[in-house]
Amino acid sequence: EVQLVESGGGLVQPGRSLKLSCVASGFTFSNYGMNWIRQAPGKGLEWVAYISSGSSYIYYAETVKGRFTISRDNAKNTLYLQMTSLRSEDTALYYCARGTTEGIVFAYWGQGTLVTVSS
Amino acid sequence: DIVMTQSPSSLAVSAGETVTINCKSSQSLLSSGNQKNYLAWYQQKPGQSPKLLIYLASTRESGVPDRFIGSGSGTDFTLTISSVQAEDLADYYCQQHYSYPTFGAGTKLELK
């Protein structure tokens, strides 16, 4: 069974940093592209970042480019999101999601970790 | 960015009805190379993570009931739910996977 378990969320002040993790199990992590997607409270879905299976290709949404860094450790089956210069508009539930072979489609999702940016 | 416009934003239905949710993209999602449309649909129930229903516009994900039907091509797409059941009450999102992914704003399916 595919499982994705996010952690690292919490309350953080504007301008500070936070690092999220996502531990994967139930599939060969190193074979799949991975993503972070967020959902602000009561709002819709926003894709944040993508990393290919071997980390060769990395893409970001314009709203986080230059502030967030996606990375992965295939030996540890773990996906990361380093977030810096956080803003109130970054407040959201952050999901990690596994891709498929048909482009950036999100076949499996974790339960999410909540990031709240507030003073 | 490709902008995805979903309609309606909410829909009240009775069990057993057939419902249609529309999604329009600001540019074509049809690849000229392989004639595939890069459009996906997700279902999100309250308090749960989204679930992939359909990708490539009409390919049902494994385990998804066949009452969920995706159709359309180019810039106009539809999710049809035949004989709606109480368990189908949820938010539905379209997403293009032609380029950097973007989602529609969602459609809330409610009980009449």
Give the pLDDT confidence of B89-109 residue by residue, as tens digits: 999 999 999 999 999 999 999
Residue A50: closest C-alpha in chain B: B100
| Nearest residue, CB atoms, B49 vs list A102, A105, A109 | A109
Contact B100, B12 (CB under 8 A): no
Give the number of A-B residue pairs with CB atoms closer than 8 Å. 54
Q: Which residues of B touch A95 (CB under 8 A)?
A: 49-50
Asked if the Cβ–Cβ distance from B95 to A45 is below 8 Å, we say yes
Give me the pLDDT at residue A102, please.
75
Question: CA-to-CA distance for A46 and A55, rounded, in angstroms?
Answer: 21
Contact A23, A9 (CB under 8 A): no
Question: CA-to-CA distance for A24 and A12, rounded, in angstroms?
Answer: 25
Contact B56, B39 (CB under 8 A): yes
pLDDT tens readout for residues A72-103: 999 999 999 999 999 999 999 999 999 887 77
pLDDT tens readout for residues A4-31: 999 999 999 999 999 999 999 999 999 9
Contact B77, B24 (CB under 8 A): yes
DSSP letter at B89 equals -
What pairing do the DSSP bridges indicate for beta strands B91-96 and B102-103?
Answer: antiparallel
